[in-house]
Amino acid sequence: MKQDLDALMTERQLDALMVVKEGHDPNMPISYLTGGASLGRALLIKRRGSDPVLICGAFEREEAAKCGLETHIFGEFDPAGIREAAKDDPVKMQALLWHRLFDEYGVTGCVGFYGSSNPAQSFHVLTMLTQMRGDFEVAIEPDTDIFLAAARTKDADELARLIDVGRRTSAVVGETLDFLKGHAVKNQTLTWADGAPLCIGDVKRFVRARLLEHDLEDSEGMIFAQGASAGVPHSAGEDGDPVRLGAPIVFDLFPREIGGGYFHDMTRTWCLGHAPDAVQEAYEHVMEAFNAVRPAFKVGAKCAAYQEMVCDVFERHGHQTIRQDETILEGYIHSLGHGIGLNIHEAPRFSHRAPDDIIEIGNVFTVEPGLYYPDRGFGVRIEDSVYVDADGAVKSLTDFPKDLVIPVS
The residue ranges that bind its own copies (CB under 8 A) are 20, 22, 24-25, 38, 40, 57-63, 75, 79-80, 90-91, 112-120, 122-127, 138-143, 145, 205, 208-209, 212-213, 215, 217, 219-221, 229, 232-236, 258-259, 326-327, 329, 333-334, 344
Q: Are 332 and 314 in contact (CB under 8 A)?
A: yes
Kindly tell me which of 68 and 75 has the beta carbon lying closer to its own copies.
75
Q: How far does Cα 296 stand from its chain's mean position?
A: 24
Count other C-beta atoms under 10 Å from residue 355's C-beta. Answer: 11
- Kindly list the distances between the CA atom of residue 379 and the CA atoms of 42, 105, 281, in Å, as whole numbers in the listed order: 43, 54, 11
Distance in angstroms between the alpha carbons of the first and the last residue of the chain = 49
**Residue 102 and residue 133: Cα distance in Å, rounded?**
10
Gap between the Cα atoms of 248 and 382, Å rounded: 12
Pick 26 or 242: Cβ nearer its own copies: 26
CB of 358 to its own copies, least distance (A): 18
> Least distance to its own copies from the beta carbon of 405, Å?
26
- Residue 175's identity, in one-letter code, is E
Q: How far is the CB of 86 from its own copies (least distance, A)?
A: 12
Q: How far is the CB of 79 from its own copies (least distance, A)?
A: 8
Shortest distance in whole angstroms from residue 38 CB to its own copies = 5
Q: For its own copies, which is the closer residue by CB, 29 or 362?
A: 29
Contacts (Cβ under 8 Å, ≥6 apart) of 233: 333, 334, 370, 372, 379, 381
Buried b (16+ CB within 10 A) or exposed e, 317-326: eebbbbbeee
Beta carbon nearer to its own copies, 113 or 270: 113
What's CA 299's distance to the chain center, in Å?
A: 22
Nearer to its own copies, 182 or 221 (CB): 221
| Nearest distance from C-beta of residue 95 to its own copies, angstroms | 12
Nearer to its own copies, 143 or 391 (CB): 143
CA 136 to centroid of chain Cα atoms: 32
